Amino acid sequence: IVKRLTARRVCADCGQMTSVLVNPKDRCENCGGKLFQRDDDKEETIRNRLRVYHENTAPLIGYYQQQGVYHMVNGLQPVDAVFTEIQRVINS
């Protein structure tokens, strides 16, 4: 996760997101604008967010599972499939 997130870059001109793993250049493939790394994508920030998640958020999964109200949605699917799955959970 850290490697993928620290590789993210954003074009200062058009806002296009890319990755130095895909586009190692310092220019946007879309418009030629300068790419930059957002503060949220810096390693220290990411590691802190992961620590907070593991300390504060992850323990809630077990709680909500015990309450019978936890539903897992595979966010790696195409957007339409994720949306359909979320709708199914909400409507059930």
User: CATH says 2-91 is which class?
Assistant: alpha beta
Residue 86: the pLDDT is 97
Residue 46: the pLDDT is 97
Quick check: helix, strand or coil at residue 7? coil
Residue 52: the pLDDT is 97
Which pLDDT tens digits describe the chain residue by residue (92 residues)? 999 999 999 999 999 999 999 989 999 999 999 999 999 999 999 999 999 999 999 999 999 999 999 999 999 999 999 999 999 999 98
Interacting residues of 87 by C-beta distance below 8 A, sequence separation 6+? none
Residue 53: the pLDDT is 96
Global pTM reads 0.69
Residue 17: the pLDDT is 96
Domain coordinates in residue numbering, the chain: 2-91
